[in-house]
Amino acid sequence: MEERQAPARSLFGVDPMDEFSVFVSDWIWERAQGQSHIEIEAKVGTLIDRHTNMRLQLPVFTETVIDARALGVRFESNMPMHQNFNQLLNELVQYSSGMYEGQRVSYKHVRETDSFYDEVLPTGENVHLRVTRDSQTQQIKPGGVVAKKRIDDLNIYCPMRMYDYRISISTETPMPRPPESSAPTFVREKDRLSYALQNFQVDLTQVTLPHRDQEPVHELEVEICQADELLRWAQYTCASGESREEWTQFEDHILVLLNNVRLLIRNADNHARECHPV
C-alpha cells in the first residue's frame, strides 16, 4: 500500500471550481444562447470614474467584476503601449514558429476602412450598418456588411494592474449592402495587426478618423473566433444533460479568453516596471 500520496486539494478531495471563470461563462451563456452571429471579445483599457474623470478607485485589492452602472463608470479602450505589444506579439510569432502547426501563432496585417450607415429596412426597422472595405482596393470585404448590435458588457477592475478590461457580447448579422445613394454617417480607418492561435485572435488596432483633428486611438482586444460554434457546443452539452454547474469545455474556453487578456495586461505591467523600476 502506497502511504505517501500527493497533497490533497482540500478535505473534500477536489479543487473548487474557479468562481470567476464560472461567473463570466454564465454571464455570456445567459446573454448569447440561442443567438446567431455572436461576437465575444475582451478589450484592454481603463475604467473611468465619470465623477472624477480619472481611473476608478475601489477599496479592493484583487481583480473583480464591477457593477458599472451602480458605480457610474465608463470604459476607455485606448491603449498607448501599442509598440510594446507589437514587439511582444511578434516575439510570440517568432518563438512559436518552430512548434507544431496547431501551436503556432499566426500573424496578419490588414488595413481596412469602416463606413457606418443608418438605414431603414423595407420593414420600417432602423438598422446601423457597418461596411468594411480593403483600404487599398476599396473593395467590400467578404461578409463585410453587417448590422452590429451590442448585447451587453462586463467590466473587470484590476487594481493590481495598469489596465482593466471589458468583455462584450454583440451580434454581427450579415446584411445586404446599403444603396449607392446612401452616405455614411461616420468613417474610420483601421490599421490592424492580428495574431491568432487556435480559436483566439489578438488584434492590435490603430484607429484613425479621417477629416477629424484627433490623435489615432490604439486598441488591444482578444476575440473568440468561432463563438457561434462554441455556443452550439455548449448548447449540446446542456441538452445532453450536463449541468451548467459543472466545468465543461465551454468554461475552459472562456478561461483561455481570460488567460489571454490577463497575460497581455501583466506584460504591460512588466514592461512599465522595466522602464521605470520602482
- The answer to whether residue 65 forms part of the interface with its own copies (CB under 8 A) is yes
The least distance separating its own copies from the CB of residue 267, rounded to whole angstroms, comes to: 8
* Total Cβ atoms within 10 A of residue 236: 11
Write the CB contacts of 117 (distance below 8 Å, at least 6 apart in sequence): 128, 129, 131, 178, 182, 183, 184, 185
Q: Which amino acid is at 64?
A: T
Helix (H, G, I), strand (E, B) or coil at 257: helix
- Binding its own copies (rule: CB under 8 A), the pick from 103, 136, 185, 226 is 103
**For residue 188, what are the β-bridge partners?**
114
Shortest Å, Cβ 226 to its own copies:
13
Does 122 engage in binding with its own copies (CB under 8 A)?
no
Shortest Å distance, C-beta 164 to its own copies? 13
Question: Of 216, 226, 263, 273, which lies in the binding site for its own copies, with binding defined by CB under 8 A?
Answer: 263
Q: Is 110 in the site for its own copies (CB under 8 A)?
A: no
- Residue 259 engages its own copies in binding (rule: CB under 8 A): yes
**In DSSP terms, which residues pair with 156 in a beta bridge?**
65, 165
Q: What is the 8-class DSSP label of residue 94? A: H
Buried b (16+ CB within 10 A) or exposed e, 63-95: beebebeeeebebebebebbebbeebbeeeeee
Which helix (DSSP H) or strand (DSSP E) does residue 116 occupy? strand 106-120
Give the interface segment with its own copies, choosing from 4-12, 30-38, 109-117, 231-239 (CB under 8 A): 4-12
42 in contact with its own copies (CB under 8 A): no
Q: Which residue has the cell 506579439?
A: 89
Contacts to its own copies from residues 219-248, by CB under 8 A: none
> Which of 1, 120, 183, 278 touches its own copies (CB under 8 A)?
1
Q: Which stretch binds its own copies (CB under 8 A): 10-18, 136-144, 205-213, 229-237?
A: 10-18
Query: What count of other Cβ atoms lies within 10 Å of the Cβ of residue 152?
Result: 13
The radius of gyration of the chain from alpha carbons, rounded to an integer in Å, stands at 21
Contact 111, 93 (CB under 8 A): no
Touching its own copies, residues 45-64 (CB under 8 A): 58-64
Residue 256 CA to residue 239 CA, distance in Å, equals 24
140: contact with its own copies by CB under 8 A: no
CA distance 142 to 161: 38
* Residue 200 beta carbon to its own copies: minimum distance, rounded to whole angstroms: 7
Does 96 interact with its own copies (rule: CB under 8 A)?
yes
Q: Which of 38, 42, 79, 89 binds its own copies (CB under 8 A)?
A: 89
Size of the site for its own copies (CB under 8 A): 54
> What CA–CA distance (Å, rounded) separates 57 from 55?
6
> Of the candidates 28, 200, 220, 251, which one interacts with its own copies according to CB under 8 A?
200
The residue ranges that bind its own copies (CB under 8 A) are: 1-5, 7-16, 19-20, 23, 58-67, 70-71, 89, 92, 96, 100-103, 105, 157, 160, 195, 197-200, 202, 252-253, 256, 259-260, 262-263, 266
